[in-house]
Amino acid sequence: MEEGTGGCKYLLLDLPWEDVLVTHIFCYLPIRQLISLQRVSRQFHALIQVYLANCRTFDFTQIGQSIPKEAFCSMLRDNKVLQNVALQNCSDWLTDKELLPVIGQNQHLLRINMRGCVCLSRHSLVAVSLSCSHLRHLGLAHCEWVDSLSLRSLADHCRGLQSIDLTACRQLKDEAICYLAKKCLQLRSLSVAVNANITDTSVEEVAKNCRELEQLDLTGCLRVRNESIRTVAEYCPKLQSLKVNHCHNVTESSLGILRKRNVEIDVEPPLQRALPEVHGTCAPPKPIHTEQVFSYATDGTASNTSRVLAHQEECNNKEIHVTAGNAL
């Protein structure tokens, strides 16, 4: 509150709501504080409702570990300009009944994260595909209700999709992923991790159609082999990251091609330790002084002493073997 030149007092609520408070002030405050602020008075409650109706980004992870269903419905009831929404913290209770109205009145959504929302159904994904044709990023990790038909609908209507996370969507098979790859040619990030149904067929189709691909997650895709990884290396020149952990049929013979291009891979290259050998002979063992062995023992590390002695004996045996061989 400030006092003007004529002795008049100006309150925060006296400022223009939509032109000043909503646009230039509240956008910098955490949504949790704004939710608390609406409890101050009826005027503040009305002001926060105006802000929520004009909010373009809703990240419910900023509010807390869990948000009540009633609060979710209240906050998004009047919003028709949403562009980004993250729903992870609503995963325990969010159903089609609560989500479908939000999707239906927000046709400009660009990014939706429904990770772990296990209570939804394929109807929500179909609604997203029909209402949000400009969608660019979609998170469906651990949504096992995603099936082939709903993914096909998404591919048909959201062809500008740039990233999609299908981790642990175990109903999906090669046919659905191939259809997605043929329709969404602008894909830059794709995860089909933790799905044993995915084979080389899917990976090769993605590689040949999605030339802009930068990130590919195949973690736990047990049926993926070297052949498809070589296809990725051939057709995806912009690839930056590849995850193939627990893909037991993918080896360094294919990964090495991508390593040469500095692609980040979550599997370490095999250790290559060259043993020094000169014409089949072993270098003579270095003498170990009694003082050195004694110093190991006095330090209380008896295991070190035994390793030193064992190493000396091993080298001596090699020297004897080589000498006997030369004599023969």
Q: Where are the beta strands (DSSP E) in 1-43?
A: 2-3, 9-10
- Residue 271 lies inside a defined structural domain of this protein: no
**Residue 8: its pLDDT value, please?**
65
Beta strand 189-191 with 163-165 is parallel
- Do the Cβ atoms of 93 and 119 come closer than 8 Å? yes
Are 283 and 247 part of one and the same domain?
Answer: no
How many domains does the structure of the chain reveal?
A: 3
Are 194 and 296 part of one and the same domain?
Answer: no
- Residue 208 lies inside a defined structural domain of this protein: yes
Are 167 and 47 part of one and the same domain?
Answer: no
Are 88 and 142 part of one and the same domain?
Answer: yes
The span from the CA of 118 to the CA of 99, in Å, is 13
CA 274 to chain centre: 37
Are 233 and 285 part of one and the same domain?
Answer: no
pLDDT in tens, the chain (328 residues): 445 555 567 677 777 777 777 777 777 777 777 777 878 888 888 888 888 898 899 888 777 667 788 888 888 999 999 999 999 888 889 999 999 999 999 999 999 999 999 999 999 999 999 999 999 999 999 999 999 999 999 999 999 999 999 999 999 999 999 999 999 999 999 999 999 999 999 999 999 999 999 999 999 999 999 999 999 999 999 999 999 999 999 999 999 999 999 999 999 998 743 445 444 444 454 444 434 433 333 344 444 444 544 554 555 455 444 444 444 4
- Residue 50 lies inside a defined structural domain of this protein: yes
Are 155 and 215 part of one and the same domain?
Answer: yes
The span from the CA of 221 to the CA of 259, in Å, is 20
Are 161 and 96 part of one and the same domain?
Answer: yes
- Residue 90 lies inside a defined structural domain of this protein: yes
- Residue 300 lies inside a defined structural domain of this protein: yes
User: In terms of residue numbers, what domain contains 312?
Assistant: 279-319
Hey, how many other C-beta atoms are within 10 angstroms of the C-beta on 256?
13
Q: Please tell me whether residue 10 adopts helix, strand or coil conformation.
A: strand
**Residue 301: its pLDDT value, please?**
41
0.85 exceeded by pTM: no
- Residue 274 lies inside a defined structural domain of this protein: no
- Residue 109 lies inside a defined structural domain of this protein: yes
Structure tokens at 12: 């925060």
